[in-house]
Amino acid sequence: MQPHIPVLVDEVIASLALHDDAMIVDGTFGAGGYSEAVLSTSKARIIALDRDPSVQPHVERLQQLYGARFAFHAGCFSQMPQLLAHILPVHGIMLDIGVSSMQLDTPDRGFSFRFDAPLDMRMEQQGRSAADIVNTTSEEELASLLWHYGEERASRKIARAIIAQRALEPISTTRHLRDLIHRIIPPRGAAIDPATRTFQALRIVVNDELGELTHGLEAAEQILAPQGRIAVVTFHSLEDRIVKHFLRDAEHREEHGTRHRPAPISEQQAPIFHSVTRKPIVATDDACRHNPRARSAKLRVAERTSAPARTIKQGRTNYA
């Protein structure tokens, strides 16, 4: 297994503008690469979160190395206001969105079709698995989720083939699903594997990744101190679009009246975030050579203003 290499780690650390008394939240701890970078290059403290129980050995290692400067809570980063109520506000938040290298490189987790393994993909190792979705979802809904979350153009063909195959036997392994997709869309040389988009879509749905990201951004708005910063690394367009639109909406706020009652200037609201990076930061060619995962990474950074946080509405706001 390759060692975990955090993507854009130097850029993330620089963007947080750390100071000695800073309390930083690592909302997607994983193997601890970002947390360790903060702890080893500054005197800041870290509160780390992760919903995957397999991170515990990495937690214990940093606790031994850094003592009281490092603490960990099991849970989702969307739960930051509840999990971190005792230490609010915080001065920085780091989020590395999506599946981690550690999860992809562990064969029995079922995240990758590089290995033959149970079709699982659950970050929390509980709840509905990818196999459950593949074997119980209707053809129409299956095609829809492959299109929306995997941007898969052959979504209907793949859904139809899954329905036909599961009528003969359940689709229970990564290789079984990969081979089925390859029969519909044969691999071509060095091009992206045809199974990639389907596996992405299933993983996103299993873990509600886009909903978690949306709620996590709303949570960050609640807990960041004025001048505190959020640094978000994303790996595909669906994630990046949510982050971009959330920060845009938080920066350019105004009450839109109706044609019968236009909103007065006095009702325009102060921005909640100011973007530190107008365009996303991407990895250098050298970084991509050392870490292929960095090729698709984008880092967006924003700074919290002193404006009051918005009330989180029931249901999900669509930032896509």
**Bridge partner list, 114:** none
Task: State which of 182, 206, 230 marks the end of a domain.
Answer: 206
Residue-level pLDDT at 34 = 97
Is residue 309 situated within a structural domain? no
Residue 70: which residues within 8 A CB-CB, separation 6 or more?
Answer: 35, 39, 45, 46, 48, 62, 63
Q: Are residues 198 and 220 in the same domain?
A: no
Task: State which of 177, 206, 235 marks the end of a domain.
Answer: 206
How far is 84 from 47, CA to CA, in rounded Å?
Answer: 8
Task: State which of 150, 182, 206 marks the end of a domain.
Answer: 206
> Quick one: tokens of 283?
């990895």
**Bridge partner list, 232:** 95, 300
Is residue 63 situated within a structural domain? yes
pLDDT tens, the chain, 320 aa long: 444 678 999 999 999 999 998 999 999 999 999 999 999 999 999 999 999 999 999 999 999 999 999 999 999 999 999 999 988 889 999 999 977 777 777 777 878 888 899 999 999 888 999 999 999 999 999 999 999 999 999 999 999 999 999 999 999 999 999 999 999 999 988 778 999 999 999 999 999 999 999 999 999 999 999 999 999 999 999 999 999 999 999 998 654 444 455 544 444 589 999 999 889 999 999 988 888 888 999 999 999 999 999 987 655 455 55
End-to-end CA distance of the chain: 35
How far is 205 from 128, CA to CA, in rounded Å?
Answer: 10
Is residue 319 situated within a structural domain? no
Is residue 107 situated within a structural domain? no
Residue-level pLDDT at 4 = 62
How many separate domains does the chain show?
2
Q: Are residues 178 and 202 in the same domain?
A: yes
> Quick one: tokens of 117?
């393994």
Is residue 121 situated within a structural domain? yes
Q: Are residues 199 and 220 in the same domain?
A: no
How remote is the C-alpha of 285 from its chain's centroid?
Answer: 23
How remote is the C-alpha of 16 from its chain's centroid?
Answer: 18
Query: CB of 69 within 8 A of CB of 46?
Result: yes
Q: Are residues 228 and 79 in the same domain?
A: yes
Is residue 316 situated within a structural domain? no
Q: Are residues 268 and 230 in the same domain?
A: yes
Sequence-ordered alpha helix ranges (H) in the chain: 9-15, 33-41, 56-66, 80-83, 101-104, 130-136, 139-150, 155-166, 174-184, 196-206, 209-223, 237-251, 285-290
Is residue 30 situated within a structural domain? yes
Q: Are residues 288 and 224 in the same domain?
A: yes
Q: Are residues 224 and 195 in the same domain?
A: no
Residue-level pLDDT at 2 = 45
Instruction: Residue 39: give the domain boundaries.
Output: 9-98+209-304
Residue-level pLDDT at 268 = 57
Query: CB of 254 within 8 A of CB of 269?
Result: yes
Specify the CATH number for the domain of residue 17. 3.40.50.150
Query: CB of 228 within 8 A of CB of 92?
Result: yes
Residue-level pLDDT at 315 = 52
Q: Are residues 116 and 198 in the same domain?
A: yes
Q: Are residues 83 and 215 in the same domain?
A: yes
Is residue 295 situated within a structural domain? yes
Specify the CATH number for the domain of residue 184. 1.10.150.170
Q: Taking Cα atoms as reference points, which of 7, 16, 55 lies closest to residue 32? A: 55
Residue-level pLDDT at 114 = 86
Lay out the sheet containing 23-26: strands in order across. Answer: 70-74, 45-50, 23-26, 90-96, 224-234, 298-304, 273-275
Q: Are residues 220 and 161 in the same domain?
A: no
Residue-level pLDDT at 245 = 96
Q: Are residues 118 and 245 in the same domain?
A: no
**Which letter, b or e, does each residue of 20-58 get, where b requires 16 or more Cβ atoms within 10 Å of its Cβ?**
eebbbbbbbbbbbbbbbbbbeebebbbbbbbbbebbeeb
Q: Are residues 163 and 244 in the same domain?
A: no
